[in-house]
Amino acid sequence: MLRNARFAIALAAAIGAAGSAPAFAAPEHFVLDPAHTYPSFSITHLGFSVMRGEFTATSGTLVYDEQTHTGSVSARIDAASIFTGFTKRDEHLRSKTFFDVARFPALRFRSATFHLVPGKSVPVQGKLTMLGVTKPVTLHVEPTRCGMRMDKHYVCGAIITGSIKRSDWGLNAYVPFVGDDVTMQIEAEAIRQ
């Protein structure tokens, strides 16, 4: 009888402890919001000025755990959506000389698992594919916040920055007259599914 009573007490204590342990949320799935995700870039032009542009069509997914601040992201940028505000230049950038969008319609980025620090910019490792060439890159990600938007979508936002040498991906046209170093900035929002 005493043995059964001890077992019952131990079992009750174990169940109670399990019930009071903090629950860990599973990572959640998000999709990049194309209306609120802006990949932009800048590059020097003949040393006289800085030319800026953006891509207007982006898609992708984010897996993110808000409690541990860990996750991974996969993004696709439509190369033909490049926009610099000057039609002839945009057509030239889409041509074989630069992005060759007929053969290589997308730029892709896939991150390794990352750990974010709220309010701080942290390095995130990943691989960028452009013109059929895949190379490692380091981007710096600063999470802004997660919360409910006015449209009742739960979103997480971030500002992403980085730089690459375009020639590393075979985008060599007019180097060094048009800069080899490309500075990138992406403001992004991702909607929880």
Task: Give residue-wise pLDDT tens across range 122-166.
Answer: 999 999 999 999 999 999 999 999 999 999 999 999 999 999 999
CA-CA distance, 187 to 161, in Å (whole number)?
Answer: 9
The architecture in CATH of the region 24-192 reads: Beta Barrel (2.40)
Which segments of the chain are extended strands (E)?
Answer: 28-32, 38-45, 49-55, 58-65, 70-78, 82-83, 106-111, 114-115, 122-130, 133-148, 154-165, 181-192
| Beta-bridge mates of residue 140 | 123, 161
Please tell me the predicted confidence (pLDDT) of residue 26: 87
Name the token pair of 106: 């997308």
Using alpha carbons, select from 110, 92, 60 the residue that is nearest to residue 178.
92
- Check residue 23 and give its pLDDT: 52
Cis check for the bond before 39: say yes or no (omega within 30 of 0): no
The domain locations on the chain are: 24-192
